[in-house]
Amino acid sequence: MPDHFTVLMIEDEAPIRRFLRPALESQNFKVIEAVTAEEGLSLASSHQPDVILLDLGLPDMDGLEVIKRLREWTAIPIIVLTAREKEKDKILGLDAGADDYLTKPFDIGELMARLRVALRHLQKVKLGDKEPLFETKDFKVDLSSRVVTIRGQEVHLTPHEYDLLALLVRHAGKVVTQKQILKEIWGPAAGDQTQYLRLYVHQLRQKLEPNSNRPKYIITEPGIGYRLKYE
């Protein structure tokens, strides 16, 4: 990865900006600030940042609308920073096109981890990496060959189990909503049939996790979806 990335922070709360700027700059991020949605949209277009930190509660426009407008022309990673604790708001943001979210107040270490994940995905897109390899000390997923192994031994997965795992691998480190998963794997008609999803997540954990009752890789985001966690 390059040594320097540009972060556009669209945030109207001055204390949050004062808190984030030195933390980001200490990690070699160049920081651009916007205090309104319109200013943020303009800076996103003119500066082409590597990642956007977006507050949902902006004074001139709801953050969900900002996400939708950005997604009309760019795939720049968007991490939502929100004081909204309702699961519905987080789901709406992710479904609108955000890559991840953090609920205020948040730990700066967690933010840095989410930024690293977003930038890792950005680099893969730039390099044209469409079939990534995901590897942990417990299992390996090679999407180019459609092979999943545990300590060198191939694991048999059903077609739906594999499709679910492949989807999580392609978004590794990011939360994927239940709606996104159901639509991509089972189609639009699946609606809210989350029982299918819970079943296949359970089966995947039994096959891949060292302890399926205490998963450390396939993590549940309660009421929202799932995240395949990097070690």
Euclidean distance between CA atoms 199 and 27, whole angstroms? 41
Domain endpoint, select from 74, 107, 126? 126
Residues 38, 60 contacting (CB under 8 angstroms): yes
Do 137 and 119 lie in a common domain? no
Contact assessment for residue 65 and residue 37, using Cβ atoms and an 8 Å cutoff: yes
Average pLDDT of each block of 10 consecutive residues along the chain (231 residues)? 80 93 93 96 94 94 93 91 80 88 88 88 62 85 91 91 93 88 82 83 95 94 89 65
Sequence-separated contacts (24+) of 195-203 with Cβ below 8 Å: 196/160, 197/164, 200/160, 200/161, 200/164, 201/164, 201/226, 203/158, 203/161
- CATH code of the domain in which 160 resides: 1.10.10.10
**C-alpha–C-alpha distance, residues 174 and 90, integer Å:** 13
**Rounded to an integer, what distance in angstroms lies between the CA atom of residue 58 and that of residue 9?**
12
CA distance linking residue 160 with residue 85, whole number of Å: 32
Specify whether the CB–CB gap between 61 and 5 falls below 8 A. Answer: no
Same domain for 12 and 101, yes or no, is: yes
Domain check: are 101 and 187 in the same one?
no
Residues 83 and 193 in one domain: no
Q: What is the pLDDT of residue 127?
A: 55
- Identify the domain containing residue 93 by its residue range: 5-126
Whether residues 86 and 120 fall in one domain: yes
Count of structural domains within the chain? 2
Is 39 within 8 Å of 62 (Cβ atoms)?
A: no
Residue where one domain finishes, among candidates 126, 158, 173: 126
Token pair of 216, please? 């450390």
- Residue 133's pLDDT is 83
Residues 31 and 114 both lie in one domain = yes
